[in-house]
């Protein structure tokens, strides 16, 4: 039987009409850091990501590129979206495509069930549709066009004209779940986070809910409706179901029960789909609602949401080619409060790389290991008497672990990193104050030198563990240089929540070489 508290986290599944930019990578990294933290804490963890491949947006892009939608999606998934996961070092447990057979089969089971239970009916429908959003727009998001679109209704998000659609559709009786949803937000205030997101969702549902059109018959790039294959399932209903189909909904009950419910991480632009439509669908199917929905902010470039369509898109490898994946992961998790918007700038990235990663952390590690080499022939010394300064470091380390873990529990990844960085700062201050290079000149102070270098090295041991969910390349390098693999085991097996227990590094351990963790970046 699996051990540990279940923790199933999902990212949104990405539209494959185009290649990824750093906004998409941001969602992935946040989800990956959270799951790596939980996995290393012993929780029964699962990270799901994948691609959203049906619908008009993809169909039109494929056609415009002279490809069939299947050829197009296969190409983009293999050449752009799966490689993204390597570029930014994501340790996902599964990757689902909405064109996977397992997904299509299980979606049909789900929708059939809703139909049989009387939650679906057929009716004539007319509405203004935005292909960019893949959504019939509510009145509040329809604006008058200007410039080339003057006289037309445009989407407030995409700024492009809306299309009038008139069809016979199948509808999901979502309006019936209004009260149940409001009760959910009330009884479980943490269901939608952060609070600003929750308020928006509550206000939206309080206004009243319409039924949802869930089928389309004017094109066929989608999953056929089981009882009427002249219609395909609405792309958002198809996409949301990935969270259930990937873990075996309808076919593998043991796996489904083990994992469900999921915690969802989504951008705030798609919050409503996840916090309103999706729980209503689950309620209708008699399944538990998600564990929660966290809506993060946008990466802004020049004050606007970064996007390919507005030509502000930056490809993740433009950053990682120069700074590496660790810097990418660290920068976005540290510089932006998770849940709020944040501006990206090359200057800020370069400044933090130099000050925090290279000078703050990288140099600390190199200097401490170099001193162990020089003064103790590369063998971790036995500490002698812990004085106030050593006790202060021990307290900083154990407090940082608790603080960081509590921050991760509330999805405050930036606070978790800030808590861990208190150790980096404390160790740097400690070394400056204790001046081991001065102690080394005086044979009578050899015990003191041993205590100081033990403390610094043991501090690095804790840092390697605590930073491993974020600095997935540098932390294992530091772990290897500390020479602890034989005595303590692999880094990934270190229980994160006990990282602060002092004295795990054994005196007598032989340390190894450490190449600079964050080398100087030469200006191009």
Q: Which residues carry out catalysis?
A: 21, 24, 130, 133, 155, 158, 305, 308
Count of residues in contact with ligand MSP, rule CB under 6 A: 20
Close Cβ partners of 60 (under 8 Å, ≥ 6 residues apart): 131
Q: Least CB distance from residue 12 to ligand MSP, whole Å?
A: 4
| Token digits of residue 118 | 């009387």
Choose, by CB under 6 A, the member of 305, 373, 445, 497 that binds ligand MSP: 305
Q: Least CB distance from residue 307 to ligand MSP, whole Å?
A: 6
Backbone angles phi and psi of 136, in degrees to 5 = -70, 125
Choose, by CB under 6 A, the member of 111, 306, 453, 478 that binds ligand MSP: 306
Q: Is 14 in the site for ligand MSP (CB under 6 A)?
A: yes
54/198 with CB nearer ligand MSP: 54
**Which residues make up each annotated binding site for Zn(2+)?**
130, 133, 155, 158
CB-count exposure of residue 314 (10 Å: 0-12, 13-18, 19+): middle
SS3 292: strand
Q: Is 26 in the site for ligand MSP (CB under 6 A)?
A: yes
Of 509, 378, 381, the C-alpha closest to 454 is 381
Give the separation between CA 339 and CA 321, rounded to whole angstroms.
27
Q: Is 24 in the site for ligand MSP (CB under 6 A)?
A: yes
Give the distance, in angstroms, between the CA of residue 307 and the centroid of all CA atoms in the same chain.
Answer: 18
Binding mask 259-298 for ligand MSP (x = CB under 6 A): -------xx-xx---------------------------x
Strands (E) across 207-362 are located at: 212-213, 215-216, 224-225, 228-233, 263-267, 292-296, 299-301, 304-305, 342-343
32/458 with CB nearer ligand MSP: 32
Q: Is 240 in the site for ligand MSP (CB under 6 A)?
A: yes
Q: Least CB distance from residue 124 to ligand MSP, whole Å?
A: 28
- CB-based contact 73:53 (threshold 8 Å): yes
Choose, by CB under 6 A, the member of 23, 222, 362, 469 that binds ligand MSP: 23
Q: Is 239 in the site for ligand MSP (CB under 6 A)?
A: yes
Please confirm whether the linkage preceding 472 is cis (ω < 30° from 0): no
SS3 523: coil
Q: Is 333 in the site for ligand MSP (CB under 6 A)?
A: no
Window 34-63: residues binding ligand MSP (CB under 6 A): 52
Of 105, 108, 133, the C-alpha closest to 17 is 133
Q: Is 408 in the site for ligand MSP (CB under 6 A)?
A: no
Q: Least CB distance from residue 454 to ligand MSP, whole Å?
A: 44
Interacting residues with ligand MSP (CB under 6 A):
12-15, 23-24, 26-27, 52, 239-240, 266-267, 269-270, 298-299, 305-307
């Amino acid at each position: 039987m699996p051990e540990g508290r279940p923790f199933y986290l999902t990212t949104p599944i990405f539209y494959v009409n185009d290649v990824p930019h750093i906004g998409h990578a941001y969602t992935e990294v946040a989800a990956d850091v959270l799951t790596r933290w939980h996995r290393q804490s012993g929780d029964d963890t699962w990270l799901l990501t994948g691609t959203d491949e049906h619908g008009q947006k993809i169909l039109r892009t494929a056609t415009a590129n002279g490809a069939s939608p299947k050829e197009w999606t296969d190409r983009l998934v293999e050449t752009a979206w799966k490689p993204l996961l390597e570029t930014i070092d994501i340790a996902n447990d599964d990757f689902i495509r909405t064109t996977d057979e397992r997904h299509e089969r299980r979606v049909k089971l789900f929708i059939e069930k809703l139909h049989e239970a009387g939650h679906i009916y057929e009716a004539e429908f007319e509405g203004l549709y935005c292909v960019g959003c893949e959504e019939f727009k509510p009145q509040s998001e329809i604006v008058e066009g200007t410039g080339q679109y003057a006289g037309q209704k445009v989407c407030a998000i995409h700024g492009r004209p809306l299309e009038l659609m008139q069809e016979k559709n199948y509808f999901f009786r979502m309006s019936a779940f209004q009260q149940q949803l409001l009760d959910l937000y009330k009884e479980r205030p943490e269901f939608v986070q952060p609070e600003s997101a929750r308020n928006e969702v509550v206000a939206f549902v309080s206004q009243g809910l319409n039924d949802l059109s869930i089928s389309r018959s004017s094109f066929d790039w989608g999953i056929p409706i089981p009882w009427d294959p002249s219609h395909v399932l609405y792309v958002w209903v198809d996409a949301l179901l990935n969270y259930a189909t990937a873990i075996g909904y309808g076919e593998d009950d043991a796996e489904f029960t083990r994992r469900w419910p999921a915690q969802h991480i989504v951008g705030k632009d798609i919050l409503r789909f996840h916090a309103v439509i999706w729980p209503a669908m689950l309620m209708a199917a008699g399944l538990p609602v998600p564990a929660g929905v966290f809506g993060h902010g946008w990466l802004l470039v020049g004050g606007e949401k970064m996007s390919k369509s507005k030509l502000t898109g930056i490809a993740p490898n433009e950053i990682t080619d120069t700074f590496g994946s660790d810097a990418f992961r660290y920068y976005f998790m540290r510089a932006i409060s998770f849940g709020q918007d944040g501006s990206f700038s090359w200057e800020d990235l370069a400044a933090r790389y130099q000050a925090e990663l290279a000078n703050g952390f990288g140099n600390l590690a190199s200097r401490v290991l170099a001193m162990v080499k020089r003064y103790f022939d590369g063998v971790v010394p036995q500490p002698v008497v812990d004085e106030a300064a050593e006790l202060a470091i021990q307290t900083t380390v154990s407090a940082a672990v608790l603080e960081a873990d509590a921050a991760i529990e509330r999805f405050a990844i930036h606070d978790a990193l800030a808590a861990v960085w208190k150790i980096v700062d404390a160790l740097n201050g400690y070394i400056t104050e204790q001046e081991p290079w001065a102690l080394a000149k005086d044979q009578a102070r050899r015990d003191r030198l041993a205590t100081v270098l033990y403390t610094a090295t043991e501090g690095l041991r804790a840092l390697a563990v605590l930073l491993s969910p974020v600095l997935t390349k540098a932390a294992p390098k530091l772990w290897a240089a500390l020479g602890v693999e034989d005595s303590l085991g692999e880094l990934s097996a270190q229980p994160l929540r006990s990282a602060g227990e002092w004295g795990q590094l054994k005196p007598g351990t032989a340390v190894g070489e450490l190449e600079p963790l964050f080398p100087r970046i030469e200006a191009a």
